[in-house]
Amino acid sequence: MEDRLFNRVKELRARKGLTQQTLAQHAGVTRQTIAAIEKGDYLPSVLLALKISDVFDLNLEDVFSIKKGWE
């Protein structure tokens, strides 16, 4: 049992009509990094998480959240 970071990046990106490439450009990273974050393969730094949240005009906790005791 461990804590996991969940994110709504894919959902919010689709809602805003952004491509991975566009979001990546806004956040200053590569498209592959956005894809990895969406799949949960990569945990972004606080700085990058804040940048992504900023693109969606949301608070950090509205985009990223911790699921406790995930198996």
Within residues 11-70, the interface with another protein by CB under 8 A covers 28-30, 32-33, 36, 42, 44-45, 48
The structure tokens 């606080």 sit at 46
Judged by phi (left if over 0) then psi (alpha if -120 to 50, else beta), residue 67 lies in beta
The minimum distance between CB 40 and another protein, in angstroms, equals: 13
**Do the Cβ atoms of 37 and 44 come closer than 8 Å?**
yes
Nearer Cβ to another protein (8/51): 51
Contacting residues toward another protein, per CB under 8 A: 28-30, 32-33, 36, 42, 44-45, 48
